[in-house]
Each structure stands twice: as structure tokens, then as C-alpha cells.
Amino acid sequence: MNPLRLLTALCFPLFFLSAVLPAPFVYAQNEYQLVKYSLPSGWTSQDISDARYFFPENARDKKNLAVAIIPSFKSKDNKAPEQFEQYLKARIRSDETLLGMSEIKQHPSSCSDQKILMAFLKVQTAAGVADRIYFAFPAEGKWGVLAIVNSQENLIQKYNKELSQFVSPCLKTDLWSTYSALSKNIKNQTAPAAVQTGRTATGPVTAPGANPIRAMYVANIMRMVPNTYGFGYTYRNFNTFWVILNNGKVYFGPPPPNPSDFDYESACRKEDACATYTDKGSSIVFTWKNIPVSLPDGSSIIKLKPAYSGQTGQTIFKKIAAENNLRLEGAFSRKTFVDISSSVTSGNVSGETVFVFSRDGRFSIYGFSGFSATSKGTPMGSVQSPGAITPPPPPANVNVGRSSENFRYGTYEIRNNQLILTFSDGKREQYFFFRYPGEENSVIAIGGVNYIK
């Protein structure tokens, strides 16, 4: 089981840790996303989306054991254990089942007056059962989170010294003892129904492991194209996608509102809609836009040459992270503009859509669209030949315009990369959703289109 496919949803608790590491194990101290850690000699690291992953040197063990520093979470001090538990459950993917979870345990920190939080989760994934251990380290109004995921218990014991060293800057403990204590204390339980079964607001129940998607990637392309009307060229941006499927194919169309519930077999029958890839273990190989692609398994970014006429810069694909039970805050907008100028008029059609989200699950949408045009014709006094059957040219500087606005509101959910909107009148809509890789705090994509905070 490759931990790269598990770590997008890391969240696991740990219990009491009391044994102190022997003195000889001392490594250089590092810090990432509020977590202070020490990287053992020979271990490698890789940044993927919004997390940093660490792997042992042994190639076989690397496929079954990994450490990750994942996004932090906010919490009030007296509510931290409860909110840590909610945070962990929210990171369980829709194609996974939570089999058991320990209580949230606390342990003194040598870096803070506040205690470190620990938890253990046992999760059924598409590749098998995985154990996940989580540590939450207190900081200024936030908690940094470090996770250890493995599919073979003996690896925790084998790498006890190295894994213990990861947390040693703030937590002096023996990892194997902690793992043993936590794993014996788990309570059998299941995740909330919508998370455990993959049930969506409008879609069917999906059995654990039935998700057809291996990974999704997006590239934002800027290219120069002719104006829709009139003369000249303009620059336009658009997203293009790779949907890597478990059946050995890559789908090149935009993902549907529910990416994991789609008839990809029918879609791939269309010419050039899909390509077959070769799985070489460490990478998958296929051809896109006549460009050969070798994509390392789990890679967060891949750079290619320009693929479209008029494109500016490289084609850069980035991995889309799984989004579940996410809460947003703030206003995100998208503006549109089309030049409709011609030889007889100058004008444009413009619009703006603004989504406003709050962390309590409410949203509102404001939309504006406007049209304006001004004629370039000659004055009304222009002379026309007697008997002419063509209409006279329009007068100059005649203005025409119209605009409209709309406002709607309701509640929202984000599950399995779907934004599910329930409006105040009871109507529901759903859209494919993700936070743009590398710009998660400022750009979101709704229906495949980017909105900027």
C-alpha cells in the first residue's frame, strides 16, 4: 500500500508517551507548518500539495510507512481536544471507512506550556487497512499536526528510533510504546454516514474502495486568442484537467459535479477524450496533446512544454487535493469581459459573480451582468443617393446599455470534491470543487472555473 495515496486524509491520535530516547540519537532540528521535527539521516522529504511527506530510505518500506506534516487547525484552548477529534474525522476521505479511533490523549510538551494532543485511527482504504497516528502541537492560536501512517505494524517497531526522533524536539517519547498504548485503546466506531459510505447530497452510495479515480491534476493555461467579435486578440485563462483512473486510463475532460460518480467508460469512447497509461511502478506514462508524459506516482507537480497555439509559458499540472467537510470564509469572485467592438460599434459585455462563505456553513451569491455599446456611424445629416435601397448608416455616438443583478443565499457542504449548495427556497445545486494547488488560501475552483479571494 502506497502511503502517498493515504496521506491526503491523514489524521491519527496517540496516547501516553513516557519513555525517553537514548542520548546518541540527535539530528538537525527543522520546522514546517508549526511543527518542530528532526529528520533522521537517510530519510527523504517531498512537498505534495499543502503537506510535507517523509519516507525511509528502504524502497520497500517506503511503500508502507510515511510521516507527514499536514495543514494546521485553529482551536480555542478549552475546546482543543474536541476540535482535534472533529478535524481528524473530517479528513477521512469519502472512499474510506473509519474502523476505530482512540480517545484524544494529552502529553506535556517541552516547547510549550500547553499539552500535545495525540490520537490513533484505524482506517479501511481501497488498498487495505492503515494505522494512523496523529500529534497536534500547540502554537499561537493554531495547532501544527504531524501524522505517521503505516500498513505494517512491525515497521513502527523497526523504525522506532527514527520515528521517535521526528517528535523529539517537543515530545520526548518512545514511539513504539506510544503506538502500542494507543492502538490497544481504540474504540470500534464508524465515521459519520456521509463520510463513511461516500454518500453525497444528490448521488448514490459508493462502497468503500469503489472510487474510480487514482488522482486528479489541473493546469491553468493563458493563451492569446482572436476576439469573439471585431478585430484584434485578447489573453484568456482556462483550466484543463487530467483525471487519472484506476482502470489504466487518463480522462482529459473537466471532472463532473461528482467526480467519483461518473460514467468514464462512456466518456472515453469519444475520440481523444482519454489515453491509456502504462504503470511502471514508480511512475505512469501516457501521451497528452502529442506530448509524452512520465508522471511520478503521487507527484504534486509536473512541467511540460506549451501545448496550445498562442500559449504563454510552460504547461504546469498540479495535483488536486481531496476536499471533505471543508469550511470556507470570505468572498471569492470571478469577472468576465467580452469585447464586442466592430467596424460600426464599440462595446462590451461584462459580468461578475461573487460567492461569500462563512465558517458556520452559510453562503450567498451575488451576480451582475451588463451590456453597453456605442455606434461609430456618421451623423444623421449625412447625404444618401436618391433611390438607394440600403438603409442609411446609423448616427454616431448612440449609446445602448442594459444590466441585471441577482442575489441568492443558503447553506453549503463540501464533500468528495463537491460543493453542494442548498438555497433558501429548497433548490439544490452541486459543482466540482477544489482549492487551487499552491494557492489554497486565495483561489478556489467552482465548476472548474477559478474564483479569487
H/E stretch holding 88 reads: helix 80-90
Q: Nearest-CA neighbor of 21 among 33, 43, 38?
A: 38
Looking at residue 190, what is its pLDDT? 38
Q: Are strands 428-435 and 116-125 parallel, antiparallel or unpaired?
A: unpaired
Looking at residue 435, what is its pLDDT? 94
Yes or no: say if 13 and 119 are a contact pair by the CB < 8 Å rule: yes
Whole-model pTM: value is: 0.50
SS3 content of the chain, % helix, strand, coil (to 5): 10, 45, 40
Yes or no: say if 42 and 56 are a contact pair by the CB < 8 Å rule: yes
In sequence order, what DSSP letters do the residues of 99-152 get, joined into one string? EEEPPPEEE--SS-SSPEEEEEEEEEETTEEEEEEEEEEE-SSEEEEEEEEES-
Q: Going residue by residue through the chain, which has 453 residues, state the pLDDT in tens, using 9 for 90 and above.
A: 555 444 444 443 333 233 333 333 334 468 888 888 888 889 988 887 678 889 998 888 888 889 998 888 887 667 888 888 888 887 777 667 888 888 888 888 888 888 889 899 988 877 778 889 999 898 877 888 999 988 887 888 889 888 988 888 888 888 888 888 888 777 544 333 333 333 222 232 223 335 788 899 999 998 877 765 556 667 788 899 999 998 899 999 999 998 888 888 888 988 889 999 998 878 899 999 999 999 987 789 999 999 988 888 899 999 999 888 889 999 998 887 565 566 556 665 667 889 999 988 999 998 876 556 666 665 444 455 555 555 555 566 666 666 567 788 999 999 889 999 999 888 899 999 999 999 998 999 999 999 999
Phi, psi of 154, deg, nearest 5: -65, -20
All residues at 6 or more sequence positions from 215 whose CB lies less than 8 Å from its CB, including other chains: 244, 298, 319, 320
For the chain, the maximum distance between any two Cα atoms, rounded to a whole number of angstroms, is: 107
Alpha-carbon distances, residue 337 vs 346, 351, 448 (angstroms):
14, 7, 18
Alpha-carbon distances, residue 267 vs 58, 253, 270, 275, 290 (angstroms):
40, 9, 6, 11, 20
All residues at 6 or more sequence positions from 178 whose CB lies less than 8 Å from its CB, including other chains: 14, 15, 16, 17, 118, 133
Alpha-carbon distances, residue 304 vs 250, 266, 282, 284, 380 (angstroms):
17, 28, 19, 15, 57
Looking at residue 209, what is its pLDDT? 38
H/E stretch holding 182 reads: helix 175-184
Yes or no: say if 147 and 35 are a contact pair by the CB < 8 Å rule: no
For the domain bounded by 3-196, which CATH number is listed? 3.40.1000.10
Looking at residue 316, what is its pLDDT? 95
Give residue 10's Cα distance to chain centre: 14
Give residue 171's Cα distance to chain centre: 31
Looking at residue 346, what is its pLDDT? 64
Map out the domains of the chain as residue ranges.
3-196, 213-319, 330-380+391-452
Tracing cell 452541486 back to the chain, one arrives at 430
- Residue 8: other Cβ atoms inside 10 A: 22
